[in-house]
Amino acid sequence: MKKWSINFIMLLTLTLGIGGCAVNKEDIQGFNLISVEEEKQLGDKFVVEIEKQRKISTDKETTAYVDRVGRRLLAKARDVQFPFTFKVVVDDNVNAFAVPGGHIYVHTGLIKAAAGEDELAAVMAHEINHAVARHGTRQMTNEYGFNLVLQLLLGDNPGMLTQLATSLFGTAGTMAYSRGMETQADHLGVETMAKAGYDPNGMLAFFTKLDAMSGQKSSKVEQFFSSHPLTSERINNVKTAIANLPPMKYSGPLDKGEFARIKARVK
């Protein structure tokens, strides 16, 4: 037991020591004490708890559409280490979130607020790249320590698993990433969108729209801003990322009328 305790302390100290380091937006590996396989296991445990708390859409057409958009983006992501899943949450709040292990959830409120598929793809590309860069387990380890994350993996603390699922991904919870992680997800999201044929200006348009909604004190965007605070710096970084892209044409949605049909369904 003493040897394990010493190892835990050393690992936790190392984790906390690197927790404040800046995130290199080009480096999707980063430092992570949790293995890819462990992250898959942890994500699967969270999914069970999340789907007890959230209303998951049973509309096959809407879910299939979101999955198609997600798969199109995923095909152009830099690295895919997880068997990603894409699901729709029946919730009017404008939000989407990524769960460790490659589980992406999109609110119906996000579909309602988006003006077109490019804007929806922008938020999904951002969330996909949180998962690609494994920000979830990195942030959890920084905040709660390796010891607790290991307990969750081993099933030693089921009560804490439920509590964390609620606080991080529940109806009132959000996972707050570091500023560097948000910048990296934006940067990679712009790149992923462009490679997939979506107009990355959709990200800029949607962020600008959300920024205006925050000025109107709309309660529907509170979850998004609590987990993804928008700043003028972030918006400028997106502009720079778009400007640095090589010249290319964007095909946009494969079915030009599909987004409108799906939006009508969720309304």
| Token couple for 7 | 């190892």
Encode 161-174 in three state secondary structure: HHHHHHHHHCCCCC
**Helices 146-154 & 36-53 angle (0-180, nearest 10):** 70
CA gap 1, 7 in Å, rounded: 10
Q: Catalytic one among 38, 127, 182, 199?
A: 127
Q: Catalytic one among 91, 182, 186, 191?
A: 186
Q: Are 227 and 181 in contact (CB under 8 A)?
A: no
Task: Name the DSSP letter for residue 115.
Answer: S
| Token couple for 215 | 């000025």
CA gap 14, 8 in Å, rounded: 10
Helices (H), 176-216: 179-196, 201-215
For the question of residue 127 being annotated catalytic, the response is yes
**Residues tagged active-site:** 127, 186
